[in-house]
Structure 1
Amino acid sequence: METRRATAIDMSTAYKAVARAALPHARLAVDPFHTAQLGNKAVSDVRRRVSHQLRHRRRRATDPEYTIKDLLLWGPGTLSDRGRRCILQTLTILEDLDGDTAHALRTAWNAKNLLLELLALSPARTGLATTRTDIDRHLTRFLDYCATFGKDVPEVVTLAETISDWRNEIATALLLGISNAAAEAVNRVTKLVYRTAFGLRNVPNQQRRASYAGSRSTRPDWLPAATAHPNFG
């Protein structure tokens, strides 16, 4: 299926319903960024919950699990050996304090890494086309891990259920290598233009400003560099 016959959306049932109504013949793909974000959220939720259960107070900067909160969100392909050792050493410390706490955090971290390994199959990341067989194998590995080791971790169960519900849209995004990153970038630029306006006195002009800024990367150069004024070169 050609990429022009597919559309990328956020992982939202409302967006899915709108896309189905507006583009009934298009294949739906979930933006990989939001899928990865869901995995990181599960890890952070587990870390906050087990920290409170262990100490019956809010987390502090000196808590072992808090010191690795950023490292836990790194992907398996970008985490350094030093960072991995730091995570494993911290999990060992937590095992001495409470085995259930360490198990929940370790399980959520491993589940997130398996999910990121699935997303890494996208041609946008590898430059190579993937197959549905490879996607199904990685997806089954993730779901099996969640069903066995993560069955007693509520956040991991919720993550697995959500990924299972959106498995077709995730597979489409990985097969075609598409995302809504371009739309998100235009949306961000538009918000920045509106914020720097310090108030709207002329709505049509403000809309023109946003449209001009958002289409900058797709417009041809109206003034070639060779003919540009030296004071502005």
Structure 2
Amino acid sequence: MRFAPEDLECPEPDQCPVATEALTSLARGRSLPTYTISVGITWHRLYSSQFGQTEANPGLGDARFSPFNEEGTNRRVPTLYLAETPHAALLETVLRDVGEWEIREVSETQFYGQQLHVGLETVEALHVADLRNPEMAALGIGRSAIASSSQEHYPCTRTVARAIHASQQNLAGIVWHSRQTEISGRPDAEALVLFADRLANGRDALALTLSLTSVGATGEGAGRIKLDELLEDVAVTVVSPLE
């Protein structure tokens, strides 16, 4: 698979809000705050139907902590994005820009045959970098310096993720508090990105939750009902492409 070139260039190096130097230094010094996610913890994923339920994104897209190449190589690091709640999973993916929308509407076509939801449980303990609010506050790093930076500074946060992946702390990913739930007026929710090449059991590091609604399309059946409930809760209207 061919990927777009790695983009780690800061658009405003003289005024960058991201604590890139501080966090990469901590990563290289093996001093990042860390957290271990226990076995049996449920996470939610909203993902493209081109991937399997526990299949990592091989390196497509433009997200806060991906895509990036492994340090010292041109190998793209595959990742999985998860969230603590269904709300956060929706807001961190299809609706990730909703807080900046003047008109809070989304086309129904966003969900046609491509977006699936799944509930997944951890099968192995996951040792990750902890960039949640309390840990960043203890380091004197504000949310705008990593977890709440604007999309234009994703290259900078990806630079941090690349250093975390390279750290000798051997971390499986990053956990932080979702920016999207914050600006949408929802309670704090954790977001998680996993480096698929650091999972001891590979795709089997995660397993379906034991529920009849643990997996499905967002555009039909129980998935559509849940989607409509979530959209109503965050005051976003779905618009038919014919309207």
* TM-score, with structure 1 as normaliser: 0.20
| Larger-Rg structure | 1
Task: Answer 1 or 2: which has greater strand percent.
Answer: 2
Does 1 or 2 have the higher relative contact order (CA < 8 Å, sep 6+)?
2
Going by fraction, where is helix more abundant, 1 or 2? 1
When the two structures are superposed, what TM-score results if normalisation uses the length of structure 2? 0.19
